Chains A and B, each alone.
Chain A
Amino acid sequence: MASTGLLHQQTNPSIVYRTRRLSKWKRAIPLYVMLLPTIAYFMALTYYPLVHSVLISMQDFNLIGNRPFVGIENFRNVLTDPTFWVDFRNTLVLGVSMLAIGFVAPIVIALSLNELMQQWLKRSVQMIIYLPHLFSWVVVGGLWIQLLNPDGGLVNAVLNAFGISSVQFMSDPNVARWVIILVSVWKDVGFNCVIYLAALVGINPELYASAQVDGANRWQETWYVTIPCLARTMQIVGLLSIMGVLRMFDQIYVMRNAVIDPTVNVLMTYVYDQGFTQMNIGQATASALIILLFSLLLTVFTRRLVRYEI
């Protein structure tokens, strides 16, 4: 039995010393076993691809056959490719607009929801606006492309009913950009809103009581008590959204079309198109590395800014 073995060892002083020194590691063996699959996964499917991508980015990479070394040519090609800069600009425009609107909207909605006295109404609105967050971009994109369809779509039907002629939402590049921005905000607003609502519940009611003693009206209560109490949540939501901007892919992949590509394509679709449509794998990898650098800088910067650690 294991226990008798242990007792036996403890009778011999030299072995006691060795087991003590080893025991910390020895006892941790089951823990390492638990960690093994995770470490193996990250090594094989995160770190190895990451390191490998540095190599690929400096090759004229073919899936089969020769892979001649080309040095920094891929990077040069990316940085001199006008499409890359168009997509870079689009990412900035879409990202900043989504961040700005997507940051304010859930706060406003959460505050209005919080003013509702009828709990059932509050809960139902909350449940409804949360729904789009659950759906995939294929579903959300499909729904909105159909709704905005110039012939037969609901939105244009409503516009027509008011005597406004149909708008070519998804084939006018400048309109389509706004559609992309607003649909993105629409999808996530409920999710972020629910986070704010959870934080609102946690605000100490005494703060409101003392504000009332000081003669604050409703607006002042919101401005001087509620908003400051939400600051921490705003940081978390803001950080999560900022980190998501450079990852933007699914929505664009699903909602884009040849006409609107120049105003809605983003950096990740650039990587995808280079890699899998034009089979420029080396150049695609180089651009992905450049984006990765951007996103690391952005992460470090926002972490500094909001001093938040996961």
Chain B
Amino acid sequence: MQRKMTGGRRVFTIVNVLFLALIASTMIVPLWNALAESFSSNLGSMQPGILMWPRHFSLSGYQTVWTVLDLWKPFENSVLVSVSGTLLHVLLSTLAGYALAQPSLPGRRVISGLILVTMMIPFEAIMIPFYVTIQQFGLLNTLIALILSGAVSGFSIILMKNFFQSIPTDILDAAKIDGAGHFRCLWRVYIPLSKAGLATVTLFEFVSRWNNLLTTVLLINDSSKNTLQVALNGLVNEGSATSSGNLVTTNVKMAGIIIAVLPLMLAYPFVQKYFVKGIFLGASKE
């Protein structure tokens, strides 16, 4: 499609690049600003004006977050809940996805139907009876409740099922002739061939668990069991997280934000590729 650059084309290219630069800068400037503020001194971060570089460089924001506000515990809780919850989620969706990918499964349509219906029920719409159920199980105020909620989802199951169905059945038949049962087939044949699918579900679930706010707000009362997002919300958006009653300065808030996005930024290079793949896999027809 190489064409000669005409005058109009050149103008278009310049306008286009400027437009995209403007859009991209709305994404990069807030983060850059937050980073600069997080490394400023308490007073420096509170002063008005355009701040794109730390004003009176200082680590006091991070120190306050760590020592006074003790964000370390919520951070730990978040890691624990996100990692174990994600592992559970991936395990269950893989098992269910494999089972539903087998045409020989009796009652497959009924079970698929039951799972599809759950996708039409937003969690927010059943949050109160969900809370009551967790209370009935005696799991209120426990991290186990957070790990269990969202242990599996229709979306992940369908994604894994679609992935498994794209694997040629010849390979499976060969394994079956060799006498492999379903568990062995899954473990030895399907899983090694499904790394991309597994990576997609894992990243999806990890990011959504790391960012989850509502479940923790609902199920956890005890501040020692709070996750990072809830603690951070108290700090950043309500400014009332400090029991000591001291003023939460901007550098402290921004330090909290930087800490919360750090794990995601580290995972980022892998995320984008798989996320798009996941959307298309999850959305493709049966």
A residues neighboring B (CB under 8 Å): 3, 24-25, 27-28, 30-32, 34-35, 37-39, 41-42, 44-50, 52-53, 56, 63, 109, 112-113, 115-116, 121, 124-132, 134-139, 141-147, 151-152, 154, 156-158, 160-161, 186, 189-191, 194-195, 198, 205, 208, 212, 218, 236, 243, 246-247, 249-250, 253-255, 268, 271-272, 275-276, 281, 284-285, 288-289, 291-292, 295-296, 299, 308-310
B residues neighboring A (CB under 8 Å): 1, 9, 12-13, 16-17, 19-21, 23-24, 26-31, 33-34, 37, 46-51, 92-93, 95-96, 98-100, 102, 104-106, 111, 114-116, 118-133, 135, 148-149, 151-152, 154-155, 157-158, 179, 181-183, 186, 207, 210-214, 217-218, 229, 232-233, 236-237, 250, 253-254, 256-257, 260-261, 264, 268, 271-272, 275-276, 279-280, 282-283, 285-286
What chain A residues lie within 8 Å of B218 (beta carbons)? Answer: 276
Q: Report yes or no: B20 in contact with A30, Cβ–Cβ below 8 A.
A: no
What chain A residues lie within 8 Å of B16 (beta carbons)? Answer: 112, 115-116
CA distance A87 to B126 in the complex (A): 18
Contact for A247 among B13, B122, B276, B286, CB less than 8 A: B122
| Most chain A CB inside 10 Å of its own CB: which residue of B50, B129, B257 | B129
Q: Report yes or no: B279 in contact with A138, Cβ–Cβ below 8 A.
A: no
| Most chain B CB inside 10 Å of its own CB: which residue of A136, A158, A296 | A136
CA distance A212 to B3 in the complex (A): 11
**15 contacts across the A-B interface (CB closer than 8 A):** A30-B181, A34-B96, A34-B183, A49-B133, A50-B129, A131-B27, A136-B229, A136-B260, A137-B213, A186-B27, A189-B23, A275-B127, A275-B128, A310-B116, A310-B155
What chain B residues lie within 8 Å of A285 (beta carbons)? Answer: 128-129
Given contact pairs A46-B126, A112-B20, a sample of 17 additional A-B residue pairs in the complex whose CB atoms are under 8 Å apart = A37-B96, A41-B148, A41-B151, A45-B148, A49-B129, A50-B126, A113-B20, A115-B13, A124-B24, A134-B268, A146-B34, A147-B30, A154-B29, A157-B49, A236-B283, A243-B122, A288-B127
Q: Report yes or no: A128 in contact with B30, Cβ–Cβ below 8 A.
A: no
Q: Contacts A63-B135, A271-B127, A272-B127 given: A38-B237 contact, CB under 8 Å?
A: no
CA distance A53 to B128 in the complex (A): 8
| Most chain A CB inside 10 Å of its own CB: which residue of B33, B115, B118, B237 | B237
Q: Report yes or no: B283 in contact with A310, Cβ–Cβ below 8 A.
A: yes
Q: Report yes or no: A249 in contact with B157, Cβ–Cβ below 8 A.
A: no
Q: Report yes or no: B149 in contact with A158, Cβ–Cβ below 8 A.
A: no
* A34 CB, nearest partner CB in chain B, Å: 4
Counting residue pairs across A and B whose Cβ atoms lie within 8 Å, the total is: 268
CA distance A125 to B16 in the complex (A): 12
Contact for B128 among A56, A194, A247, CB less than 8 A: A56
Q: Which A-chain residue is minimally distant from B9 (CB atoms)?
A: A218
What chain A residues lie within 8 Å of B279 (beta carbons)? Answer: 195, 236
CA distance A143 to B217 in the complex (A): 20
CA distance A115 to B3 in the complex (A): 12
* A26 CB, nearest partner CB in chain B, Å: 10
